Amino acid sequence: MRQFAVIGLGSFGSTVALELSGRGLAVLAIDKNHDKVDDIRDSVTHAIVGDGTDPAFLGSIGISEVDVALVALGDDIEASVLVTLNLSEMGIPTIIVKGISPEHGSILSAVGAHQVVFPEKEIAQRIARSLAAPNVIDHIPLAEGYNIVEMVAPEPFVNKTLIDLNLRREYGVELLVIKRALPDSQPAVVVVPGAGETIHAGDKLVIMGASDKVEGLQEL
């Protein structure tokens, strides 16, 4: 089983730790604040009070055994950089760090972060997308210039088969999944639907394509 460490138990870090633990994964939770550690102690594998900027402390708790470490130290730029550097020097296979600015992210990457995340920015972007395109349920960026979106079937698609729509030729996208709207539909989820499948009102479509093509669908 993969093992995870979460350093920093603020709102973001504690939520990630609890979600991982809730999925049956081994989680080591660390924070300098006794109260934060006590709050999560009964919900994770191990919860320890300590300072992740101290390499001796990290070595003493065996953090080198974890597969993934998440550093979530809020606005403390110096601490997040030092912790990331310590984890990198210990050879942690995957280090994910919460960043607060592009400049901070560049520094974190330079000292060993494998991935820098910006939760507030990503949430703001998701809200903006949902406001601009209310039929879009979720949006997943892929390689540069390509996206996967889950969206409610546009009205022009309703009661048409995939042969009628010819999505690849007419819209430049691929339909990966149909989630049927009617509760008694069998099957409820159609993966890689065939050409004869019909789109019904309220169906949810998971579509992949170039960003401009996907955005074009959102405007229907």
Q: What is the pLDDT of residues 80-93, one digit of tens each?
A: 999 999 999 999 99
Q: With cut-offs at 50, 70 and 90, classify the pLDDT of residue 211.
A: confident
Q: What is the mean pLDDT of residues 4-12?
A: 95
Q: Where in the chain is the domain with CATH 3.40.50.720?
A: 3-119
DSSP 8-state symbol, 8: -
Q: With cut-offs at 50, 70 and 90, classify the pLDDT of residue 78.
A: very high
The confidence score (pLDDT) of residue 150 equals: 87
Q: Which helix (H) or strand (E) holds 157?
A: none
> What pTM, to 2 d.p., does this model score?
0.67
Which residues are CB-contacts of 74 (< 8 A; sequence separation ≥ 6)?
A: 8, 10, 98
Rounded distance, CA 182 to CA 202, Å?
A: 8
Q: Is the pLDDT of residue 191 over 70?
A: yes
The confidence score (pLDDT) of residue 212 equals: 86
CATH number belonging to the domain at 3-119, selected among 3.40.50.720, 3.30.9.10, 3.40.640.10, 3.40.50.620:
3.40.50.720
The confidence score (pLDDT) of residue 83 equals: 97
Q: With cut-offs at 50, 70 and 90, classify the pLDDT of residue 27.
A: very high
Tens digits of residue pLDDT in 40-69:
999 999 999 999 999 999 999 999 999 999
Q: Which residue has the higher pLDDT, 74 or 200?
A: 200
Tens digits of residue pLDDT in 169-190:
999 999 999 999 987 888 889 9
Q: Which helix (H) or strand (E) holds 217?
A: helix 211-218
The confidence score (pLDDT) of residue 119 equals: 84
The confidence score (pLDDT) of residue 137 equals: 59
Q: What is the percentage of the chain residues whose pLDDT exceeds 70?
A: 90
> What is the DSSP track for 86-129?
HHHHTT-SEEEEE-SSHHHHHHHHHTT-SEEE-HHHHHHHHHHH
Tens digits of residue pLDDT in 137-156:
566 666 678 888 888 999 99
> Is residue 39 helix, strand or coil?
helix
Q: Where in the chain is the domain with CATH 3.30.70.1450?
A: 127-218
Task: Report whether 184 contacts 156 (CB < 8 A).
Answer: no
Rounded distance, CA 149 to CA 140, Å?
A: 6
The confidence score (pLDDT) of residue 146 equals: 84
Rounded distance, CA 180 to CA 97, Å?
A: 38
Question: Which two tokens mark 209?
Answer: 């394509």
In this predicted structure, which of 51-55, 100-104, 136-140, 192-196 has the lowest mean pLDDT? Answer: 136-140
Rounded distance, CA 140 to CA 176, Å?
A: 13
| CATH 3.40.50.300 is held by the domain 127-218 | no
Calculate the average pLDDT of the chain.
89
Q: What is the mean pLDDT of residues 103-119?
A: 93
Rounded distance, CA 202 to CA 150, Å?
A: 12
